[in-house]
Structure 1
């Protein structure tokens, strides 16, 4: 079944009474308490599995400031015109109504690990026995010369789903005839390695119809990128002459921008642009840093259960973690959340804990019915989450296979969001 925001409206209304922040719970509270911060692919999945599988034995609170979750994965398909914003928007009502999760829409602003208390912006304090952090990403300030968070309306990053995604699409649709779309790609590691290049494909798909003389420039600090051969083959086939990728060897890492003048400078050469999508270097979401569990950028974790190296009672999932070989992706976060939830439930209730196993697949759409994928399976070792084996689409595949790959991604999205939100 295709899921979208409308699917959850009825459940959200029924659960409205559960969406208010609690006061501090009494010392004699009987159930073990798990607080989950971040309602994305990692956090929502972990909260749901903890509540569902514990069958009422755990008190689960999910802290997420947004009442509507707009997925970053599949947001490029919205930019390309293959999805509406409602198709990638979801609410939290079912988690509250069906699974009994206390969903709190507020910002977590502090973690006292000694007292085991999370403080929210609204003043509420949430005690916990186990804390799961899944805050996604934040950006490294000054990672791109001339750009800051204050510039995100002029030069959007659109690497967090929601208003930034809608803004970037509006800017693309308003480009003048023959205009220039520019992207500053991020350095490794970052959320969704193929994401910037799928985005280039989707922007090109739109421009090919609405603005066929437009140009796309990609300034990239990397010498190579995920699925490069597949994207370059697709760009040549579908968007010949439109996309100019400038890698590190040609100055793609020596970049500055001027948001007020709308210029991009690559290795000393300034270009006037009409839209500039700046995707800066990334780090773990702010609350992980405030909790004191990061190395300055990412949170090192133990592969067997996603607990942090700094604190056995604090776990970090998904993009914010430094875990080993898995890419930062929604699929990865979902897989890690299930392992983590199983371990946390076992620690708090004595239930069986299964050996950690992980998998990931990243799909990308290059043009209509031209889907490609890359993926792998992983296992937990003493040192890290380690890759066991992998696969990737081949260049030269026929149209039927590429269409099947895209349809497979559609099925995954429906299943993934059901796994997150119920």
Structure 2
């Protein structure tokens, strides 16, 4: 199947038939306002769909500090040399000009849920009738002993795309001949479950061409990981002898780093690395915690029918920050959740029809040139969580034509989702 914008919308628009129903007429009074914090995939999607489907009945305000958003998904392909960095970046002009979203480039630094206001870093505050919180992830301090965010210029995480991604690639390209690239993988749950292992594949692809005697070391606290059989098959086929994974049985869950000396201590024994990519444990973006929307897990619990916060009925939490059940933290998931939330919020504020929630996700990964694999599922709300109802995954031993088709499908999906999120042309 070749993915394009039409295919993408057909699959992910299951709850967005709302566009077929005209929004109720709004009398001459202040329009209900929806404030969205975070202009990533979840936040930009919900803002766009609220604005366009309400046909002017809602005042939609998106708060996002950056003027250009770089997707974390597909950033590994930049590391591997398959994509240019600029291809990951997307602006907000079309959200404002073509969809009627009021985009405010500022930091949201506080939420008063009693007064229903959001405080801005540049001064002042904005009120809301409904609030959507979609700030992505932050890192758990101390989860990797020896590392904190002040170390990210030496041992980058590159798990928020942008300058960190550029830094990591520059470090890889500057490795000495026969040097060592080390990755400290995160514990569950975290953004994009296959992401660290696709990253290893892309780093291996780059090194195989420019530094073929280099080694890659994965320090992993998990017993297993997403698409493990597929990745391990691919590593053996394309990068035999280059990649070593150390799991918890051999000290992968007992790792300390020393950024100043570029050392990794594994079960008390120090190893030197030339590049060390530390991906720490993760939690909901800081503003979600500051707003009192998270629980002891560090994530924000939501009701599975609508992505509404379990702690405040006027607030919705989308994407990576949410604790919702079986869905992985991914761009596809965030986009799917945002459409459900947009439908419900519009119904709340305008009296339009709310459709039953259905969710979906697919995660593609590139292992080598033309060797793409995928995993995905469809989901429905159950009593206490979003539950997987049907799933699929690529199989080991697939022929090269199918793997190349899977990769090409992923490219079509990227073009489709970014057009859907940011209102950008697909050409």
| Shared fold (TM-score, shorter chain, > 0.5) | yes
Matches within 5 A, 1:27-176: 30-176=30-176
Other-structure match for 1:363: 364
Q: CA deviation at 1:52?
A: 0.6
Other-structure match for 1:206: 206
Matches within 5 A, 1:289-328: 289-296=289-296, 297-328=298-329
Looking at structure 2, the residues matched to 66 and 210 of structure 1 have their Cα atoms a distance apart, in angstroms, of 34
Q: Report whether the alignment pairs 1:187 with 2:187.
A: yes
Looking at structure 1, the residues matched to 363 and 128 of structure 2 have their Cα atoms a distance apart, in angstroms, of 34
TM-score, with structure 2 as normaliser: 0.92
What is the SS of the residue equivalent to 2:270? strand
Other-structure match for 1:279: 279
Q: CA deviation at 1:83?
A: 0.5
Taking a change above 3 Å as real, the CA distance of residues 61 and 29 of structure 1, as seen in their structure-2 partners, is farther
Looking at structure 2, the residues matched to 379 and 149 of structure 1 have their Cα atoms a distance apart, in angstroms, of 37
Contact 2:3 2:409 in 1 (8 A): no
What is the SS of the residue equivalent to 1:397? coil
Q: CA deviation at 1:313?
A: 0.4
Q: CA deviation at 1:50?
A: 0.2
Q: Flag the structure with more relative contact order, 1 or 2, with Cα contacts below 8 A and sequence separation at least 6.
A: 2
Q: CA deviation at 1:99?
A: 1.1
Looking at structure 2, the residues matched to 215 and 271 of structure 1 have their Cα atoms a distance apart, in angstroms, of 13
Looking at structure 2, the residues matched to 331 and 153 of structure 1 have their Cα atoms a distance apart, in angstroms, of 29
Looking at structure 1, the residues matched to 52 and 103 of structure 2 have their Cα atoms a distance apart, in angstroms, of 15
Looking at structure 1, the residues matched to 146 and 420 of structure 2 have their Cα atoms a distance apart, in angstroms, of 40
Q: CA deviation at 1:124?
A: 2.5
Other-structure match for 2:375: 374
Looking at structure 2, the residues matched to 409 and 126 of structure 1 have their Cα atoms a distance apart, in angstroms, of 39
Q: Report whether the alignment pairs 1:343 with 2:341.
A: no
Other-structure match for 1:389: 390
TM-score, with structure 1 as normaliser: 0.93
Contact 2:3 2:413 in 1 (8 A): no
What is the SS of the residue equivalent to 2:410? helix
Cα distance per residue 1:77-133 (max 9 Å; x no partner): 000001001111000000011111110111100000000000010013110000000
What is the SS of the residue equivalent to 1:46? helix
Cα distance per residue 1:306-346 (max 9 Å; x no partner): 00010000000000000000000000000000000000000
Q: CA deviation at 1:268?
A: 1.5
Q: Structure 2: where are the runs of 5+ without partners?
A: 5-27
Contact 2:3 2:416 in 1 (8 A): no
Aligned pair count?
398
Looking at structure 1, the residues matched to 77 and 3 of structure 2 have their Cα atoms a distance apart, in angstroms, of 15
Looking at structure 1, the residues matched to 66 and 365 of structure 2 have their Cα atoms a distance apart, in angstroms, of 26
Other-structure match for 1:14: none
Matches within 5 A, 1:236-275: 236-275=236-275
Looking at structure 2, the residues matched to 367 and 166 of structure 1 have their Cα atoms a distance apart, in angstroms, of 20
Other-structure match for 1:225: 225
Looking at structure 1, the residues matched to 250 and 194 of structure 2 have their Cα atoms a distance apart, in angstroms, of 21
Runs of 4+ in 1 over 4 A off after TM superposition: none
What is the SS of the residue equivalent to 2:377? strand
Cα distance per residue 1:215-258 (max 9 Å; x no partner): 00000000100000000000000000000001111110000000
Q: CA deviation at 1:29?
A: 6.1
Looking at structure 1, the residues matched to 51 and 147 of structure 2 have their Cα atoms a distance apart, in angstroms, of 42
What is the SS of the residue equivalent to 1:418? helix
Other-structure match for 1:196: 196
Looking at structure 1, the residues matched to 124 and 305 of structure 2 have their Cα atoms a distance apart, in angstroms, of 32
